[in-house]
Structure 1
């Protein structure tokens, strides 16, 4: 098989990953709606995922859990195509047929994640806005938006907030490349352990379980930054300063993290604080919505990896490349 960046094998991986992720996200989309609502709406009480979904349906209608499905699916399809293509092309170019190791998988995953973030962040900013548009928030400070679709959202954001707003949350997103990197490192490592040097196709149960374990570990480690990322993409937290973008991003992340942690302090602390709004969740505030996120992301990732492996395996068999594929992976 070719170790070139441009190869049919890399294209098969990219298409399989994109199709698998789109299908899995569609199945578990309401769980992502519950997670995002808890992350962004400060005044919404943290409840069990079914209770949150019941509240949303009661307040906003039966289809509310699927609000913003199309832009999310478009963003996810592009994002996973880019990530899977970069991951496997970099892996093929770097290893050139040699056995991989967890450290290699981690470094390749980080590199693929950086490319993915820089290319697809505008899509995720727009899909976050559209997914939350029309929602009934408990936080009165959240400003309503009125986008008619993906293109109109792009146009309004650029006109009202400037082109840079399309990359809101890029810095925490760059930090969050550790999430898929850790996920792929654990997934590929478990895959190698299960095969133990014998080229074979894993069973559906094996793929589902190792996909779930890999995603659960990656999500728990990086969840606080995912919450900050969602808030910044929504565009409701703006702290304008004369600092450089990097320093401003660091200060914004720090402020949002402190805001999530703080429970109660004397008034004088509020006056001298770097953050000017109430902070009330405690340490658990960093993990608000984690139950919904874990439920959604673990099930989605497990199903995505299962579909990805089956689609890729079937395609490679049709191309007569399955034996080489398993030897290299």
Structure 2
């Protein structure tokens, strides 16, 4: 019922925007980017961001594996710069990229030795499977944000400060909802090494037993982190962008403006939502380990119950564990993604202008 209401709300907003554009179409409207152009720009942004940020996580996981080797069924978080994925340590032995032996003294030493002994390609190990998830999520997220923003601006006015909050929250909610079953399916295939036929049978049995909602297991913990993150991120991004444009005296699509605004707003959102990120990791790790090792889940399943457990064991500081590594990944990822996306849209806008100027 909730998904139907969300879909209905988005449909009304999109239809309103479309009618508005058709009714008031002029030359300036033709210079704007289309939804397809926005999708292409976000796709390129996702690839470039993943390319630059993924090596940081590969090195981090290799350092973790060196100090505390992963056992069979052990779960760990892998990030390609845009999304976090719970990965399961399989039987792969020392040949698996996350179990390869190393004698690293630190991060820089790990970079150098991995390139010297295994080749530079090893820094992007595991990137392919995660991009399969990241690309559709990013395309849906950024395209929906721009489309919803335009619809809301035409209805509420361009100066409404809460438009980025609403558009960012709805677009992230939609992208998480669409991709959540795919994430569950990907993890099942990875943990059990199922064929497509076996996977189909497994999903059918689960749906018959627990209903279709079982495909969205882990959805709530993801939403609790990603939706507030998006609301805070877009609100601060739009405000910082306007402030910088006034001070520097440049266009909002300028690469430096978008890059700086993205890094600052991403850092703020990452710090504020870190407790939900810690809870999400705990809950998803328990879920995936129960799937892999076939052991029953622990009783501590709700978000607030997990928070209480973390505070009881580690204090308030436990909710902000890993703040350094998270900022190191989130800040450059947000900066690269949004600046690349804005630059891509600027390219398409100039292309549209040239087409419209032709006789």
TM-score by length of structure 2 reads 0.63
Moved over 6 A (4+): 38-41, 51-54, 61-65
- The partner residue of 2:173 within 111, 114, 117 is 114
Match of 2:281 among 230, 252, 258: 230
Question: How many Å separate the matches in 1 of 2:328 and 2:205?
Answer: 36
Counterpart position of 2:203: 158
Counterpart Cα distance in 1 of 2:331 and 2:198: 30
> SS of the residue aligned with 1:262?
helix
Is the Cα–Cα contact under 8 Å of residues 221 and 283 in structure 2 kept in the other structure? no
Q: Please state if 1:146 is matched with 2:192.
A: yes
Check 1:321–1:94 CA distance in 2 against 1; reply closer, same or farther (3 A cut): farther
Assess, with a 3 A threshold, how the Cα gap between structure 1 residues 228 and 166 changes in structure 2: closer, same or farther: farther
Q: Say if 1:301 and 1:240 are closer, same or farther in 2 by CA, change over 3 A.
A: same
- 2-structure distance, mates of 1:146, 1:109: 35
Gaps of 5+ in 1: 42-47, 134-144, 242-247, 264-280, 324-329
Give the number of the structure with larger relative contact order, counting CA–CA contacts within 8 Å between residues 6 or more apart.
1
- How many Å separate the matches in 2 of 1:128 and 1:49? 30
For structure 2, the residue ranges without an aligned partner over 5 or more in a row are: 1-15, 22-31, 62-75, 79-83, 88-104, 291-295
Give the whole-Å Cα distance in 1 for the aligned partners of 2:238 and 2:42: 14
Q: Give the total of aligned pairs.
A: 274
In the aligned structure 2, how far is the partner of 1:71 from the partner of 1:90?
29
- Do the aligned partners of residues 157 and 110 (structure 1) sit closer, same or farther apart at CA in structure 2, a change above 3 Å counting? farther
TM-score normalised per structure 1? 0.68
| Superposition deviation, residue 293 in structure 1 | 1.6
Q: How far does residue 200 in structure 1 lie from its aligned partner after superposition?
A: 2.1
Q: What are the superposed Cα offsets for residues 254-287 of structure 1, whole Å, 9 maximum, x if unpaired? A: 3322332233xxxxxxxxxxxxxxxxx3333222
Do residues 171 (structure 1) and 220 (structure 2) align? yes
Partner residue in 2 for 1:105:
164
TM-aligned CA deviation for residue 64 of structure 1: 7.3
Contact 1:79 1:120 survives alignment (8 Å): yes
| Cα 1:207/1:110, change in 2 over 3 Å | same
Distance 1:284 1:152 in 2: 45
**8 Å CA contact retained: 1:187, 1:211:** yes
Superposed CA offset, 1:128-174 (max 9, x none): 677xx6xxxxxxxxxxx33368x589548636865645422211222
17-26 vs 191-200, which moves further: 191-200
Please state how far the C-alpha of 1:204 moved relative to its aligned partner.
2.5
The corresponding residue for 1:217 is 268
Q: Cα distance 1:129–1:195, how it changes in 2: closer, same or farther (>3 A)?
A: farther
> Which residue matches 1:313?
346
In structure 2, what is the equivalent of residue 95 of structure 1? 153
Choose from 194, 202, 211 the match for 2:244.
Answer: 194
The answer for the alignment partner of 2:18 in structure 1 is 4
CA RMSD of aligned residues (A): 4.1
Q: Offset of 1:301 from its aligned partner?
A: 1.2
* Mapped pair 1:260 → 2:295: no
1:208 matches 2:251 = no
Partner of 1:24: 49
